[in-house]
A and B are shown apart, each in its own frame.
Chain A
Protein backbone atom coordinates (compact mmCIF):
# COMPACT_ATOMS: atom_id res chain seq x y z
CA UNK A 1 0.00 0.00 0.00
CA UNK A 2 2.60 2.56 1.01
CA UNK A 3 5.92 2.04 -0.73
CA UNK A 4 7.61 5.04 0.76
CA UNK A 5 10.10 5.11 3.55
CA UNK A 6 9.55 7.67 6.28
CA UNK A 7 11.67 9.59 8.73
CA UNK A 8 9.22 8.61 11.46
CA UNK A 9 6.08 6.55 11.93
CA UNK A 10 3.77 7.58 14.77
CA UNK A 11 1.43 4.88 16.03
CA UNK A 12 -1.77 6.39 17.38
CA UNK A 13 -3.57 9.71 17.00
CA UNK A 14 -4.30 10.64 20.60
CA UNK A 15 -2.75 13.53 22.50
CA UNK A 16 0.82 12.25 22.53
CA UNK A 17 0.78 10.93 18.97
CA UNK A 18 -0.67 14.13 17.55
CA UNK A 19 1.84 16.24 19.51
CA UNK A 20 4.72 14.13 18.21
CA UNK A 21 3.49 13.98 14.60
CA UNK A 22 2.78 17.72 14.50
CA UNK A 23 6.15 18.66 16.00
CA UNK A 24 8.15 16.46 13.61
CA UNK A 25 6.13 17.31 10.49
CA UNK A 26 6.25 21.05 11.15
CA UNK A 27 10.05 20.78 11.33
CA UNK A 28 10.27 19.15 7.96
CA UNK A 29 10.42 15.46 8.79
CA UNK A 30 8.56 13.01 6.59
CA UNK A 31 5.98 11.58 8.99
CA UNK A 32 3.40 8.80 8.67
CA UNK A 33 0.79 8.53 11.42
CA UNK A 34 -1.30 5.37 11.75
CA UNK A 35 -4.61 5.32 13.62
CA UNK A 36 -6.91 2.33 14.04
CA UNK A 37 -10.10 4.37 14.47
CA UNK A 38 -12.43 5.48 11.70
CA UNK A 39 -11.30 9.05 12.44
CA UNK A 40 -8.81 10.40 14.98
CA UNK A 41 -10.59 10.46 18.31
CA UNK A 42 -13.03 7.65 17.64
CA UNK A 43 -11.11 5.35 20.00
CA UNK A 44 -10.05 7.99 22.50
CA UNK A 45 -11.68 8.62 25.86
CA UNK A 46 -10.87 11.27 28.45
CA UNK A 47 -12.79 13.25 31.14
CA UNK A 48 -11.73 15.71 29.78
CA UNK A 49 -9.70 18.71 30.94
CA UNK A 50 -7.11 20.19 28.57
CA UNK A 51 -4.26 22.28 29.91
CA UNK A 52 -3.58 25.28 27.69
CA UNK A 53 0.06 25.83 28.53
CA UNK A 54 1.18 22.47 27.15
CA UNK A 55 -0.81 22.89 23.94
CA UNK A 56 0.51 26.45 23.51
CA UNK A 57 4.01 25.00 23.42
CA UNK A 58 2.93 23.06 20.33
CA UNK A 59 0.26 25.24 18.67
CA UNK A 60 0.50 28.75 20.17
CA UNK A 61 -2.66 30.11 18.52
CA UNK A 62 -4.84 27.05 19.21
CA UNK A 63 -7.58 29.24 20.72
CA UNK A 64 -8.40 30.60 17.26
CA UNK A 65 -10.04 27.43 16.03
CA UNK A 66 -9.73 24.52 18.52
CA UNK A 67 -13.09 23.10 19.69
CA UNK A 68 -12.98 24.14 23.35
CA UNK A 69 -15.98 23.70 25.65
CA UNK A 70 -15.60 25.87 28.77
CA UNK A 71 -12.66 27.51 30.51
CA UNK A 72 -12.51 26.54 34.16
CA UNK A 73 -13.18 29.14 36.82
CA UNK A 74 -14.15 26.77 39.60
CA UNK A 75 -12.83 23.49 40.97
CA UNK A 76 -14.65 21.56 43.68
CA UNK A 77 -12.83 18.81 45.56
CA UNK A 78 -15.31 16.70 47.46
CA UNK A 79 -15.14 13.99 50.08
CA UNK A 80 -18.41 12.09 49.93
CA UNK A 81 -20.25 9.66 52.14
CA UNK A 82 -23.59 8.10 51.25
CA UNK A 83 -25.66 11.20 51.99
CA UNK A 84 -23.25 14.12 52.02
CA UNK A 85 -20.25 15.84 50.60
CA UNK A 86 -17.64 17.92 52.39
CA UNK A 87 -15.81 20.15 49.98
CA UNK A 88 -13.09 22.58 49.22
CA UNK A 89 -14.19 24.87 46.43
CA UNK A 90 -11.90 27.23 44.65
CA UNK A 91 -13.41 29.77 42.31
CA UNK A 92 -11.62 32.82 41.04
CA UNK A 93 -12.42 35.59 38.60
CA UNK A 94 -8.67 35.56 37.87
CA UNK A 95 -9.35 32.49 35.72
CA UNK A 96 -11.43 34.75 33.43
CA UNK A 97 -8.29 35.86 31.63
CA UNK A 98 -7.47 36.59 28.01
CA UNK A 99 -5.72 33.24 27.68
CA UNK A 100 -7.40 30.88 30.13
CA UNK A 101 -5.38 28.12 31.76
CA UNK A 102 -7.68 25.07 31.58
CA UNK A 103 -10.56 24.07 29.36
CA UNK A 104 -13.01 21.22 29.23
CA UNK A 105 -12.96 19.48 25.85
CA UNK A 106 -14.77 16.65 24.08
CA UNK A 107 -12.06 14.36 22.80
CA UNK A 108 -13.63 13.10 19.56
CA UNK A 109 -14.05 16.72 18.42
CA UNK A 110 -10.75 17.98 19.78
CA UNK A 111 -8.74 15.11 18.31
CA UNK A 112 -10.23 15.69 14.86
CA UNK A 113 -9.10 19.31 15.06
CA UNK A 114 -5.62 18.34 16.29
CA UNK A 115 -5.33 15.79 13.49
CA UNK A 116 -6.24 18.43 10.90
CA UNK A 117 -3.33 20.52 12.23
CA UNK A 118 -1.06 17.47 11.92
CA UNK A 119 -2.07 17.05 8.25
CA UNK A 120 -1.67 20.77 7.58
CA UNK A 121 1.84 20.51 9.01
CA UNK A 122 2.60 17.98 6.29
CA UNK A 123 2.24 14.55 7.92
CA UNK A 124 0.42 11.68 6.20
CA UNK A 125 -2.38 10.42 8.45
CA UNK A 126 -3.83 7.01 7.72
CA UNK A 127 -6.93 5.98 9.70
CA UNK A 128 -8.72 2.61 9.91
CA UNK A 129 -5.30 0.99 10.13
CA UNK A 130 -4.36 -1.21 13.07
CA UNK A 131 -0.64 -1.79 13.46
CA UNK A 132 -0.22 -5.50 14.13
CA UNK A 133 3.51 -5.76 14.83
CA UNK A 134 6.84 -4.02 14.88
CA UNK A 135 9.46 -5.04 12.31
CA UNK A 136 13.04 -5.56 13.52
CA UNK A 137 16.34 -5.91 11.68
CA UNK A 138 18.79 -8.74 12.38
CA UNK A 139 20.28 -6.81 15.31
CA UNK A 140 16.91 -6.20 16.92
CA UNK A 141 16.55 -2.55 15.94
CA UNK A 142 12.95 -1.52 15.23
CA UNK A 143 12.83 -0.50 11.58
CA UNK A 144 9.17 -0.52 10.64
CA UNK A 145 5.64 -1.78 11.24
CA UNK A 146 3.17 -4.20 9.76
CA UNK A 147 -0.52 -3.32 9.63
CA UNK A 148 -3.80 -5.11 8.98
CA UNK A 149 -4.00 -3.53 5.53
CA UNK A 150 -2.93 -5.42 2.47
CA UNK A 151 0.70 -4.95 1.57
CA UNK A 152 4.03 -5.41 3.25
CA UNK A 153 5.85 -3.63 6.02
CA UNK A 154 6.28 0.15 6.14
CA UNK A 155 9.73 1.36 7.11
CA UNK A 156 10.99 4.39 9.00
CA UNK A 157 14.13 5.55 10.82
CA UNK A 158 12.24 5.75 14.08
CA UNK A 159 8.89 4.55 15.44
CA UNK A 160 7.02 6.69 17.98
CA UNK A 161 4.78 4.41 20.04
CA UNK A 162 1.83 6.60 21.02
CA UNK A 163 -0.43 3.58 21.20
CA UNK A 164 -2.30 4.44 24.39
CA UNK A 165 -2.66 2.83 27.77
CA UNK A 166 -3.07 -0.77 26.56
CA UNK A 167 0.19 -0.60 24.63
CA UNK A 168 -0.22 -3.89 22.80
CA UNK A 169 2.72 -3.45 20.45
CA UNK A 170 5.20 -2.52 23.14
CA UNK A 171 4.18 -5.27 25.54
CA UNK A 172 4.00 -7.94 22.84
CA UNK A 173 7.23 -6.73 21.27
CA UNK A 174 9.01 -7.14 24.62
CA UNK A 175 9.74 -3.41 24.98
CA UNK A 176 7.91 -3.20 28.29
CA UNK A 177 5.97 -5.37 30.72
CA UNK A 178 2.24 -5.92 30.87
CA UNK A 179 0.42 -3.44 33.11
CA UNK A 180 -0.34 -4.73 36.58
CA UNK A 181 -3.99 -4.61 37.75
CA UNK A 182 -2.91 -2.52 40.77
CA UNK A 183 -1.22 0.06 38.52
CA UNK A 184 -4.19 0.88 36.35
CA UNK A 185 -7.71 2.19 36.93
CA UNK A 186 -10.85 1.47 34.96
CA UNK A 187 -13.03 4.54 34.49
CA UNK A 188 -16.53 4.67 33.05
CA UNK A 189 -18.38 7.82 32.11
CA UNK A 190 -21.55 9.10 30.52
CA UNK A 191 -22.25 12.20 28.45
CA UNK A 192 -25.30 13.97 29.87
CA UNK A 193 -26.77 16.60 27.58
CA UNK A 194 -28.60 19.63 28.99
CA UNK A 195 -29.38 23.06 27.56
CA UNK A 196 -26.51 25.51 27.92
CA UNK A 197 -28.48 27.88 30.15
CA UNK A 198 -29.48 25.05 32.51
CA UNK A 199 -25.81 24.16 33.06
CA UNK A 200 -25.00 27.83 33.61
CA UNK A 201 -27.81 28.20 36.18
CA UNK A 202 -26.96 25.03 38.08
CA UNK A 203 -23.30 25.84 38.45
CA UNK A 204 -23.54 29.65 38.59
CA UNK A 205 -21.65 30.15 35.35
CA UNK A 206 -21.82 32.82 32.68
CA UNK A 207 -20.71 32.58 29.07
CA UNK A 208 -17.98 30.01 28.58
CA UNK A 209 -17.13 29.65 32.27
CA UNK A 210 -16.83 26.08 33.50
CA UNK A 211 -16.82 24.15 36.76
CA UNK A 212 -15.47 20.73 37.65
CA UNK A 213 -16.10 18.46 40.60
CA UNK A 214 -13.76 15.66 41.64
CA UNK A 215 -14.77 13.44 44.51
CA UNK A 216 -13.44 10.63 46.65
CA UNK A 217 -15.45 8.71 49.19
CA UNK A 218 -17.86 5.92 49.79
CA UNK A 219 -19.02 6.19 46.16
CA UNK A 220 -16.05 3.96 45.29
CA UNK A 221 -17.22 1.39 47.87
CA UNK A 222 -13.90 1.03 49.64
CA UNK A 223 -11.89 0.84 46.43
CA UNK A 224 -9.22 3.35 45.48
CA UNK A 225 -11.20 5.56 43.16
CA UNK A 226 -12.38 8.96 42.03
CA UNK A 227 -15.67 10.34 40.77
CA UNK A 228 -15.73 13.33 38.45
CA UNK A 229 -18.16 15.79 36.89
CA UNK A 230 -17.00 18.18 34.19
CA UNK A 231 -19.19 20.87 32.64
CA UNK A 232 -19.02 21.18 28.86
CA UNK A 233 -20.92 23.78 26.85
CA UNK A 234 -24.14 21.81 26.59
CA UNK A 235 -23.27 18.56 28.28
CA UNK A 236 -21.87 17.17 31.50
CA UNK A 237 -19.26 14.42 31.56
CA UNK A 238 -19.92 12.29 34.63
CA UNK A 239 -17.84 9.30 35.59
CA UNK A 240 -16.05 7.21 38.16
CA UNK A 241 -12.85 5.18 38.08
CA UNK A 242 -11.30 2.64 40.46
CA UNK A 243 -8.24 0.39 40.38
CA UNK A 244 -8.65 -2.73 38.26
CA UNK A 245 -7.19 -4.87 41.09
CA UNK A 246 -9.87 -3.53 43.45
CA UNK A 247 -12.63 -4.21 40.92
CA UNK A 248 -11.41 -7.79 40.54
CA UNK A 249 -11.18 -8.33 44.30
CA UNK A 250 -14.60 -6.85 45.12
CA UNK A 251 -16.38 -7.96 41.93
CA UNK A 252 -18.14 -4.60 41.84
CA UNK A 253 -19.59 -3.58 38.48
CA UNK A 254 -18.43 -0.21 37.17
CA UNK A 255 -21.84 0.67 35.72
CA UNK A 256 -23.47 -0.03 39.11
CA UNK A 257 -21.03 2.42 40.73
CA UNK A 258 -21.77 4.97 38.04
CA UNK A 259 -25.53 4.66 38.54
CA UNK A 260 -25.08 4.97 42.32
CA UNK A 261 -23.02 8.13 41.80
CA UNK A 262 -25.75 9.51 39.53
CA UNK A 263 -28.37 8.94 42.19
CA UNK A 264 -26.28 10.42 45.03
CA UNK A 265 -28.22 13.32 46.61
CA UNK A 266 -25.33 15.72 45.90
CA UNK A 267 -25.05 14.77 42.20
CA UNK A 268 -28.61 13.93 41.17
CA UNK A 269 -29.92 17.52 41.05
CA UNK A 270 -26.96 18.60 38.92
CA UNK A 271 -27.82 16.20 36.10
CA UNK A 272 -31.61 16.09 36.51
CA UNK A 273 -33.49 15.96 33.21
CA UNK A 274 -30.39 15.24 31.13
CA UNK A 275 -30.31 13.09 28.04
CA UNK A 276 -27.49 10.53 28.01
CA UNK A 277 -25.92 10.14 24.58
CA UNK A 278 -22.85 7.99 25.20
CA UNK A 279 -21.34 5.54 27.67
CA UNK A 280 -17.58 5.02 27.54
CA UNK A 281 -14.92 3.05 29.39
CA UNK A 282 -11.17 3.52 29.45
CA UNK A 283 -8.10 2.55 31.46
CA UNK A 284 -5.94 5.15 33.23
CA UNK A 285 -2.31 4.47 34.23
CA UNK A 286 -2.02 4.91 38.00
CA UNK A 287 1.34 3.37 38.88
CA UNK A 288 3.16 6.69 38.89
CA UNK A 289 6.92 7.14 38.65
CA UNK A 290 7.79 3.59 39.69
CA UNK A 291 5.67 2.11 36.88
CA UNK A 292 7.35 4.08 34.08
CA UNK A 293 8.89 1.58 31.65
CA UNK A 294 11.97 1.90 29.43
CA UNK A 295 11.17 4.96 27.31
CA UNK A 296 13.48 4.49 24.32
CA UNK A 297 15.46 1.88 22.45
CA UNK A 298 17.02 1.14 19.10
CA UNK A 299 14.67 2.71 16.60
CA UNK A 300 11.83 3.55 18.99
CA UNK A 301 10.49 5.82 21.70
CA UNK A 302 7.29 5.49 23.74
CA UNK A 303 5.14 8.47 24.80
CA UNK A 304 1.90 9.32 26.63
CA UNK A 305 -0.30 6.74 28.35
CA UNK A 306 1.66 3.89 26.78
CA UNK A 307 4.61 5.16 28.83
CA UNK A 308 2.39 5.36 31.95
CA UNK A 309 2.91 9.12 32.13
CA UNK A 310 -0.03 10.10 34.30
CA UNK A 311 -0.14 12.19 37.47
CA UNK A 312 -2.88 10.53 39.51
CA UNK A 313 -2.63 12.99 42.42
CA UNK A 314 -3.31 16.03 40.24
CA UNK A 315 -5.43 14.07 37.76
CA UNK A 316 -3.27 15.22 34.89
CA UNK A 317 -2.62 12.97 31.92
CA UNK A 318 -3.25 14.58 28.57
CA UNK A 319 -0.76 17.36 29.29
CA UNK A 320 1.93 14.84 30.17
CA UNK A 321 1.00 12.99 26.98
CA UNK A 322 1.26 16.11 24.81
CA UNK A 323 4.51 17.17 26.42
CA UNK A 324 6.14 13.75 26.15
CA UNK A 325 5.10 13.56 22.48
CA UNK A 326 6.51 17.00 21.79
CA UNK A 327 9.77 16.32 23.64
CA UNK A 328 10.28 12.93 21.95
CA UNK A 329 9.74 14.64 18.60
CA UNK A 330 12.19 17.42 19.45
CA UNK A 331 14.79 14.84 20.47
CA UNK A 332 14.27 12.98 17.19
CA UNK A 333 14.57 16.21 15.19
CA UNK A 334 17.82 17.00 17.03
CA UNK A 335 19.32 13.57 16.34
CA UNK A 336 18.23 13.84 12.73
CA UNK A 337 19.69 17.34 12.31
CA UNK A 338 23.16 16.10 13.17
CA UNK A 339 22.68 13.10 10.86
CA UNK A 340 22.77 10.70 13.80
CA UNK A 341 21.28 7.22 13.51
CA UNK A 342 18.15 6.50 15.62
CA UNK A 343 20.00 4.26 18.06
CA UNK A 344 19.18 3.68 21.69
CA UNK A 345 22.22 5.75 22.60
CA UNK A 346 21.10 8.76 20.56
CA UNK A 347 17.44 8.48 21.53
CA UNK A 348 18.44 8.62 25.21
CA UNK A 349 18.25 12.36 24.57
CA UNK A 350 14.45 12.04 24.84
CA UNK A 351 14.71 10.71 28.40
CA UNK A 352 17.27 13.37 29.34
CA UNK A 353 14.96 16.11 28.07
CA UNK A 354 11.93 14.55 29.77
CA UNK A 355 13.85 14.34 33.05
CA UNK A 356 14.33 18.10 32.96
CA UNK A 357 10.63 18.76 32.24
CA UNK A 358 7.70 18.96 34.65
CA UNK A 359 6.61 15.51 33.44
CA UNK A 360 9.18 13.43 35.28
CA UNK A 361 9.80 16.03 38.01
CA UNK A 362 6.12 15.87 39.04
CA UNK A 363 5.93 12.09 38.84
CA UNK A 364 9.12 11.77 40.93
CA UNK A 365 7.61 14.04 43.58
CA UNK A 366 4.67 11.67 44.09
CA UNK A 367 6.54 8.41 43.57
CA UNK A 368 5.32 6.93 46.90
CA UNK A 369 1.73 8.10 46.61
CA UNK A 370 0.30 5.16 44.60
CA UNK A 371 1.62 2.61 47.11
CA UNK A 372 0.16 4.58 50.02
CA UNK A 373 -3.31 5.14 48.56
CA UNK A 374 -3.61 1.77 46.91
CA UNK A 375 -2.67 -0.34 49.92
CA UNK A 376 -4.84 1.58 52.40
CA UNK A 377 -7.71 2.19 50.08
CA UNK A 378 -10.55 1.47 52.48
CA UNK A 379 -9.11 3.90 55.08
CA UNK A 380 -8.62 6.73 52.64
CA UNK A 381 -11.69 6.13 50.51
CA UNK A 382 -14.27 4.99 53.09
CA UNK A 383 -13.23 5.41 56.74
CA UNK A 384 -11.94 8.98 56.55
CA UNK A 385 -14.75 10.24 54.30
CA UNK A 386 -17.32 8.89 56.77
CA UNK A 387 -15.44 10.42 59.72
CA UNK A 388 -15.18 13.77 57.96
CA UNK A 389 -18.89 13.83 57.23
CA UNK A 390 -19.73 12.95 60.85
CA UNK A 391 -17.34 15.60 62.16
CA UNK A 392 -18.77 18.27 59.85
CA UNK A 393 -22.35 17.37 60.71
CA UNK A 394 -21.55 17.29 64.41
CA UNK A 395 -20.05 20.78 64.05
CA UNK A 396 -22.96 22.22 62.05
CA UNK A 397 -25.93 20.67 63.81
CA UNK A 398 -27.24 22.72 66.76
CA UNK A 399 -29.03 20.40 69.16
CA UNK A 400 -28.24 21.60 72.69
CA UNK A 401 -25.28 19.26 73.17
CA UNK A 402 -22.46 21.24 74.82
CA UNK A 403 -19.72 22.00 72.29
CA UNK A 404 -17.05 20.38 74.44
CA UNK A 405 -18.94 17.08 74.31
CA UNK A 406 -19.34 17.37 70.55
CA UNK A 407 -15.60 17.86 70.12
CA UNK A 408 -14.86 14.91 72.38
CA UNK A 409 -17.24 12.72 70.40
CA UNK A 410 -15.56 13.67 67.11
CA UNK A 411 -12.09 12.95 68.47
CA UNK A 412 -13.27 9.65 69.93
CA UNK A 413 -14.79 8.62 66.59
CA UNK A 414 -11.47 9.16 64.79
CA UNK A 415 -9.53 7.22 67.43
CA UNK A 416 -12.07 4.41 67.48
CA UNK A 417 -11.92 4.05 63.70
CA UNK A 418 -8.15 4.26 63.17
CA UNK A 419 -6.51 4.21 66.69
CA UNK A 420 -4.12 6.94 67.81
CA UNK A 421 -1.19 5.17 66.23
CA UNK A 422 -3.09 4.64 62.98
CA UNK A 423 -3.98 8.33 62.73
CA UNK A 424 -0.40 9.45 63.33
CA UNK A 425 0.96 6.83 60.98
CA UNK A 426 -1.50 7.76 58.18
CA UNK A 427 -0.66 11.46 58.59
CA UNK A 428 3.09 10.88 58.58
CA UNK A 429 3.01 8.56 55.58
CA UNK A 430 0.76 10.94 53.67
CA UNK A 431 3.10 13.84 54.44
CA UNK A 432 6.14 11.87 53.30
CA UNK A 433 4.49 10.68 50.11
CA UNK A 434 3.39 14.25 49.32
CA UNK A 435 6.66 16.11 49.89
Chain B
Protein backbone atom coordinates (compact mmCIF):
# COMPACT_ATOMS: atom_id res chain seq x y z
CA UNK B 1 0.00 0.00 0.00
CA UNK B 2 1.15 3.51 -0.58
CA UNK B 3 -0.03 6.86 0.57
CA UNK B 4 0.24 9.35 -2.29
CA UNK B 5 2.89 11.93 -1.51
CA UNK B 6 1.24 15.29 -1.85
CA UNK B 7 3.21 18.45 -1.46
CA UNK B 8 1.54 20.33 1.35
CA UNK B 9 1.12 23.97 0.52
CA UNK B 10 0.23 25.77 3.68
CA UNK B 11 -0.23 28.98 1.69
CA UNK B 12 -3.31 27.43 0.06
CA UNK B 13 -4.72 26.64 3.48
CA UNK B 14 -4.08 30.11 4.91
CA UNK B 15 -5.71 31.63 1.86
CA UNK B 16 -9.07 30.39 3.18
CA UNK B 17 -8.67 32.34 6.41
CA UNK B 18 -9.69 35.86 7.32
CA UNK B 19 -7.11 38.22 8.78
CA UNK B 20 -6.93 41.86 9.73
CA UNK B 21 -3.22 42.67 9.54
CA UNK B 22 -1.94 45.54 11.71
CA UNK B 23 0.56 47.12 9.30
CA UNK B 24 3.96 47.94 10.77
CA UNK B 25 3.18 46.27 14.10
CA UNK B 26 4.29 42.63 13.94
CA UNK B 27 3.12 40.90 17.14
CA UNK B 28 6.03 38.45 17.07
CA UNK B 29 9.69 39.31 16.62
CA UNK B 30 12.77 37.11 16.37
CA UNK B 31 15.80 38.28 18.34
CA UNK B 32 18.82 38.86 16.08
CA UNK B 33 21.10 35.83 16.16
CA UNK B 34 24.09 34.30 14.42
CA UNK B 35 22.99 30.66 14.51
CA UNK B 36 19.48 29.56 15.50
CA UNK B 37 18.99 27.16 18.41
CA UNK B 38 17.42 23.75 17.74
CA UNK B 39 14.00 24.98 18.89
CA UNK B 40 14.16 28.16 16.81
CA UNK B 41 15.21 26.15 13.77
CA UNK B 42 12.36 23.68 14.44
CA UNK B 43 9.87 26.54 14.05
CA UNK B 44 10.60 26.64 10.32
CA UNK B 45 8.90 23.22 10.17
CA UNK B 46 6.60 23.17 13.20
CA UNK B 47 4.83 26.54 12.89
CA UNK B 48 1.41 25.58 11.50
CA UNK B 49 1.25 28.78 9.41
CA UNK B 50 4.87 28.48 8.21
CA UNK B 51 5.60 32.01 9.44
CA UNK B 52 9.23 31.19 10.17
CA UNK B 53 11.75 30.81 7.37
CA UNK B 54 15.47 30.43 7.06
CA UNK B 55 17.24 33.24 5.21
CA UNK B 56 20.35 32.69 3.07
CA UNK B 57 22.61 33.53 6.04
CA UNK B 58 21.13 30.60 7.96
CA UNK B 59 19.16 32.81 10.33
CA UNK B 60 15.48 32.41 11.16
CA UNK B 61 13.12 35.21 10.12
CA UNK B 62 9.44 35.70 10.75
CA UNK B 63 6.56 37.11 8.72
CA UNK B 64 3.62 36.84 11.09
CA UNK B 65 0.85 37.86 8.65
CA UNK B 66 -0.59 34.34 8.42
CA UNK B 67 -0.17 33.65 12.14
CA UNK B 68 -3.10 31.84 13.79
CA UNK B 69 -1.94 32.93 17.26
CA UNK B 70 -1.65 29.35 18.51
CA UNK B 71 1.37 30.07 20.71
CA UNK B 72 3.52 27.07 19.72
CA UNK B 73 6.56 29.25 19.00
CA UNK B 74 6.10 31.02 22.32
CA UNK B 75 6.14 27.68 24.17
CA UNK B 76 9.33 26.64 22.38
CA UNK B 77 11.32 29.87 22.25
CA UNK B 78 10.08 32.64 24.55
CA UNK B 79 11.66 31.40 27.77
CA UNK B 80 15.12 31.46 26.17
CA UNK B 81 14.44 34.98 24.89
CA UNK B 82 14.76 33.98 21.25
CA UNK B 83 11.45 35.49 20.30
CA UNK B 84 9.23 38.26 21.63
CA UNK B 85 5.57 37.27 21.56
CA UNK B 86 2.46 39.32 22.10
CA UNK B 87 -1.13 39.15 21.03
CA UNK B 88 -2.01 41.52 18.19
CA UNK B 89 -3.84 44.69 19.19
CA UNK B 90 -7.53 44.18 19.93
CA UNK B 91 -9.49 43.32 16.78
CA UNK B 92 -6.40 42.57 14.66
CA UNK B 93 -4.86 39.28 13.62
CA UNK B 94 -6.67 36.10 12.65
CA UNK B 95 -10.48 36.23 12.67
CA UNK B 96 -11.88 32.72 12.66
CA UNK B 97 -15.14 32.33 10.76
CA UNK B 98 -15.78 28.88 12.25
CA UNK B 99 -13.02 28.26 14.79
Binding site for B on A (CB under 8 A): 36-38, 41-46, 48, 82-83, 106-109, 111, 127-130, 147-149, 165-166, 168, 178-181, 184, 186, 188, 190-191, 235, 244, 247-248, 251-256, 258-260, 263-265, 276-283
Contact = CB atoms under 8 A, between A and B. Distances in A.
B54 interface: no
A82 B49 CA distance: 26
6 contacts: A41-B96, A43-B94, A129-B90, A148-B89, A279-B13, A282-B70
A45 B93 CA distance: 14
A38 B93 CA distance: 9
Interface of B: 1, 3-4, 6, 8, 10, 13-14, 16-17, 20, 38-39, 42, 45-46, 48-50, 68-72, 74-76, 78-79, 86-91, 93-99
Contact of A127 (B69, B90, B98): B90
A283 B1 contact: no
Contacts, number: 149
A43 B99 CA distance: 7
Q: List the 6 closest pairs (A to B, CB-CB), nearest first.
A: A128-B91, A279-B13, A83-B1, A281-B48, A107-B99, A128-B90
Given A248-B39, A281-B70, A148 B90 contact: yes
Contact of A278 (B45, B46, B78, B97): B97
Of the listed residues A108, A280, A283, the one surrounded by the most CB atoms of chain B closer than 10 A to its CB is A280
Given A38-B91, A168-B87, A191-B98, A244 B17 contact: no
Contact of A181 (B1, B76, B93): B76
B1 A178 contact: no
B15 to A, nearest CB: 9
Contacts of A44: 96, 99
B1 to A, nearest CB: 4
A140 to B, nearest CB: 23
A9 to B, nearest CB: 15
B44 to A, nearest CB: 8
A147 B89 CA distance: 9
B48 A255 contact: yes
A47 to B, nearest CB: 10
B46 A251 contact: yes
B6 A263 contact: yes
Nearest to B41: A251
A234 B94 CA distance: 23
A37 B69 CA distance: 11
A186 B89 CA distance: 23
B49 A281 contact: yes
A263 to B, nearest CB: 6
Contacts of A247: 42, 46, 72
Contact of A188 (B38, B48, B76, B97): B48
B73 to A, nearest CB: 10
Contacts of A127: 90-91
Contact of B10 (A36, A82, A255): A255
Contacts of A244: 46, 72, 75-76
A247 B70 CA distance: 14
Contacts of A179: 75
A253 B8 contact: yes
Contacts of B87: 36, 130, 168
A15 to B, nearest CB: 12
A34 to B, nearest CB: 9
A148 B25 CA distance: 13
B46 A253 contact: yes
